[in-house]
């Protein structure tokens, strides 16, 4: 459910609820037979009840609007999480607006996405995004999203870490040395789930018989006695320190050098040999980490 629709429903609901609640309190017991005549006489003499409402309604209305908004959003998110189906969509439009208030402005942006449901139905849904996110979208852009099987208009774009953490239960962090050791001992059937628990976007590529994460430029391959992990250059700085923190001994020929220029690091413990090496493919640089059983 979009933020704009949720806000509108919450405000309308809060105003109606607050108004009826205050009127109920003011006119409590007025419907009893012995009070009807008395209330009618009061109404004739005093027509200022509307002004009282204008004073009393706004405060509870604001409070209840936040409560209703939270309830609506939570309900929609819970339904989406329980009935989610993942698919690819295309950005077909969007808008960004700014509402000026007394002490600043309130910005809200949204994008329209077209996608096809599992049963072949074409759907166009609108999703609210931050102003910063909006600037990164363009017409025709392909995006991964989830939609509710019960309400295809209820969607979430899987374009931010917060959305992925919330709906995919992924930690969205770098793969660590300890993760590699866990993956080394994991069964093949567990690997894909473990990888996506760390960072979302892994799939198994049958052509190269390896797990790939195209959005993060990573590759992971598992053999019975060896794993190979290809990642960005940050691994050259982080992984050696992490392995040494796990009681691995550095056995690099020539010793530990400047991580900015050192091409290779080698480490070991009682069970494993680890090689961390810089590689290049065209203009791109990668780090290949190999963990092998002794």
Q: Give pLDDT, residue 225.
A: 95
DSSP 216: G
Q: Give pLDDT, residue 158.
A: 92
Average pLDDT over residues 269-289: 90
Is the pLDDT confidence value at 222 over 80? Answer: yes
**Alpha-carbon radius of gyration of the chain:** 29
Q: Give pLDDT, residue 30.
A: 52
Q: Give pLDDT, residue 3.
A: 47
User: Greater confidence, 206 or 59?
Assistant: 206
What are 111-140's pLDDT values in tens digits? 999 999 999 999 999 988 888 888 899 999
20-to-15, 56, 64, 178, 255 alpha-carbon distances in Å = 8, 12, 13, 59, 78
The residue whose two tokens read 């019975």 is 224
Per CATH, the number for 83-167 is 2.40.50
Average pLDDT over residues 259-265: 82
pLDDT range class, residue 281, cuts 50, 70, 90: confident
What does the domain layout of the chain look like in residue ranges? 3-80, 83-167, 177-293
Is the pLDDT confidence value at 168 over 60? Answer: yes
What are 27-71's pLDDT values in tens digits? 555 545 554 455 545 454 455 555 555 555 566 656 655 665 556
Average pLDDT of the chain is 81
Per-residue buried b or exposed e for 157-187, using 16+ beta carbons within 10 Å of the residue's own CB: bbbeeebbeebbebebebbbbebbbebbebe
pLDDT range class, residue 2, cuts 50, 70, 90: very low
């Amino acid at each position: 459910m979009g933020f704009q629709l949720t806000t509108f429903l919450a405000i309308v609901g809060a105003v109606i609820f607050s108004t009826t609640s205050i009127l109920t309190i003011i006119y409590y017991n007025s419907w009893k037979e012995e009070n009807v005549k008395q209330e009618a006489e009061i109404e004739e003499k005093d027509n200022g009840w509307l002004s009282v409402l204008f004073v009393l309604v706004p405060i509870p209305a604001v409070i209840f609007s936040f409560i209703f908004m939270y309830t609506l959003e939570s309900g929609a998110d819970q339904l989406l999480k329980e009935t989610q189906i993942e698919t690819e969509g295309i950005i077909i439009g969007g808008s960004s607006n700014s509402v000026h208030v007394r002490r600043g402005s309130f910005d809200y942006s949204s994008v329209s996405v077209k996608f096809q449901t599992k049963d072949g139905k074409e759907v166009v849904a609108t999703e609210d995004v931050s102003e910063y996110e909006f600037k990164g979208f363009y017409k025709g852009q392909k995006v991964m999203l989830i939609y509710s099987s019960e309400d295809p208009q209820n969607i979430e774009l899987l374009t931010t870490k917060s959305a992925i953490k919330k709906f995919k239960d992924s930690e969205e962090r770098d793969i660590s040395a300890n993760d590699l050791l866990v993956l080394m001992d994991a069964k093949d059937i567990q690997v894909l789930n473990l990888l996506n628990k760390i960072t979302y976007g892994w799939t198994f590529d049958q052509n190269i018989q390896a797990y790939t994460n195209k959005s993060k430029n990573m590759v992971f391959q598992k053999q019975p006695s060896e794993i190979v992990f290809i990642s960005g250059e940050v691994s050259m700085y982080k992984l050696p320190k992490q392995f040494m923190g796990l009681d691995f001994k550095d056995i690099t020929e020539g010793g530990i050098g400047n991580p900015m220029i050192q091409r290779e690091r080698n480490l070991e413990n009682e069970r494993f040999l680890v090689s961390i090496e810089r590689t290049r493919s065209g203009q791109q640089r990668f780090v290949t980490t190999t963990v092998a059983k002794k």
